[in-house]
Each structure stands twice: as structure tokens, then as C-alpha cells.
Amino acid sequence: MSHFSVPSYEYCPNCGAKTRSKLMDEHAVKVCAADCGFAHFNNPTPVVAVIVETPEGVVLAHNVGWPGGIFSIITGYVDPYELPEQTAIRETKEELGLSAYDATFVGHYMFGPKNQLIIAYAVKAHGPIKMNHELDEYKVIPVHKLKGWKTATGEAVTDWVNTLGALMPKPNE
Ligand SMILES: [Zn+2]
């Protein structure tokens, strides 16, 4: 059962005819009403989220379009024919100006409101932070103070922090 709304293609991008909704495997699909073959399956969009770990801590950034006070790990769309590991490295360079290496897979998360499949990585990075036009503020949180939050990217942070915690020696061991 799909939790997401019917795709918004009102007209067929192939032939310009109206589209109609159709249920396929319990998912709402838009198909061309003139039967030219177009179908929009509303597949999730892959988006890479990156936990950027610098020697000082993890970088959280504020997007120019967000309300004030909200910070998150950086995210970016996967380019055509790009592997998500490469997206993680590229986005870290583009958005923060940092050279990243060691992209480690953290997990997959669903961001329902935008039907995005979040593919989360952690990278190590160094260098002076230089934000691009998408960001207007950042903060660096020491790893031992980092906590996740209740969205897809926040869940990735929580999982990553928990994995690090599991790797640390217990005080009584
Ligand atoms: Zn059509």
C-alpha cells in the first residue's frame, strides 16, 4: 500500500494528452490517457545524506530555505549515472568546500513527505569550511555531544552515533 499521494503529472510529457490514474500493484500510477505508453510510477527519488566528520566534530548546516534554528546534515541528489558514495564525496566538496574520503554506508531511510529514499553515508573530511549558496550557517558538533532527531536524516545520525557507541569500550570492561 502506498502512503504517498497520486503523482502530479496532469498531462503526458510524451504526447501532451491528459493522463489518468490507475492502480498497479496497489500503487497509484499515472498513465497516458491516449495510450502512448507513458507511465509515471512515482518511484522514490534517491537522495544522499552525508554525516561529515571533521577532526572537530560533525558538521550540521542551515539551508537558506529553512526556518531559522534548524540544522541538519547535508543532502544532495544523485547525479545521472553517479554512485551514491560519489555523491557523498561530491556534495561535501560542493556544499562545504571540504575534501572528503572514506565514505561509509550508514543506512537507508524514507523521507515520506517528499517520497525520497535517503541513502546515508558518513565521511571523514578536513579543510576550511566554505559554504555554497545553498547554506547560510553551520555548526560543528563534537561527536560525543551529537544526537539524532526525528526525521530521516536525524535517524541516520542516531544510527551512526549508536554504532560508534557500540564500538567504544564499555567503562566496566
Ligand atoms: Zn501520451
Instruction: Specify the CATH number for the domain of residue 100.
Output: 3.90.79.10
Q: Are residues 87 and 3 in the same domain?
A: no
Q: Is residue 136 part of a domain?
A: yes
Q: Cα(81) to centroid of ligand 1, in Å?
A: 26
Q: Cα(4) to centroid of ligand 1, in Å?
A: 23
Average pLDDT across the chain, whole number:
92
Q: Is residue 127 part of a domain?
A: yes
Q: Cα(10) to centroid of ligand 1, in Å?
A: 11
Q: Cα(11) to centroid of ligand 1, in Å?
A: 8
pLDDT band at 136 (very low <50, low <70, confident <90, very high): very high
Q: Cα(24) to centroid of ligand 1, in Å?
A: 18
Q: Are residues 61 and 20 in the same domain?
A: no
76 has pLDDT over 70: yes
Q: Which residues contact 166 (CB under 8 A, 6 or more apart)?
A: none
CA–chain centroid gap for 68, Å, is: 20
Q: Cα(29) to centroid of ligand 1, in Å?
A: 14
Q: Are residues 58 and 23 in the same domain?
A: no
Q: Is residue 172 part of a domain?
A: no
Q: Cα(101) to centroid of ligand 1, in Å?
A: 45
Which range of residues forms the domain containing residue 32? 1-42
Q: Cα(18) to centroid of ligand 1, in Å?
A: 8
Decide if 105 contacts 48 (C-beta within 8 A).
no
Q: Cα(115) to centroid of ligand 1, in Å?
A: 24
Q: Are residues 90 and 55 in the same domain?
A: yes
Q: Are residues 30 and 77 in the same domain?
A: no
CB atoms within 10 A of CB 146: 17
Q: Cα(116) to centroid of ligand 1, in Å?
A: 26
For 11, counting Cβ atoms within 10 Å of its Cβ (0-12 exposed, 13-18 middle, 19+ buried), the class is middle
Q: For strands 45-54 and 116-126, give the pairing.
A: parallel
Instruction: Give the pLDDT mean for 63-82.
Output: 96
pLDDT digits (tens, 9 = 90+) for 12-56: 999 999 999 999 888 889 999 999 999 999 899 999 999 999 999
pLDDT digits (tens, 9 = 90+) for 142-158: 999 999 999 999 999 99
Q: Are residues 122 and 96 in the same domain?
A: yes
- Indicate the pTM of the whole model: 0.86
128 has pLDDT over 60: yes
Q: Cα(16) to centroid of ligand 1, in Å?
A: 6
What is the total count of domains within the chain?
2
Q: Is residue 173 part of a domain?
A: no
1 has pLDDT over 60: no
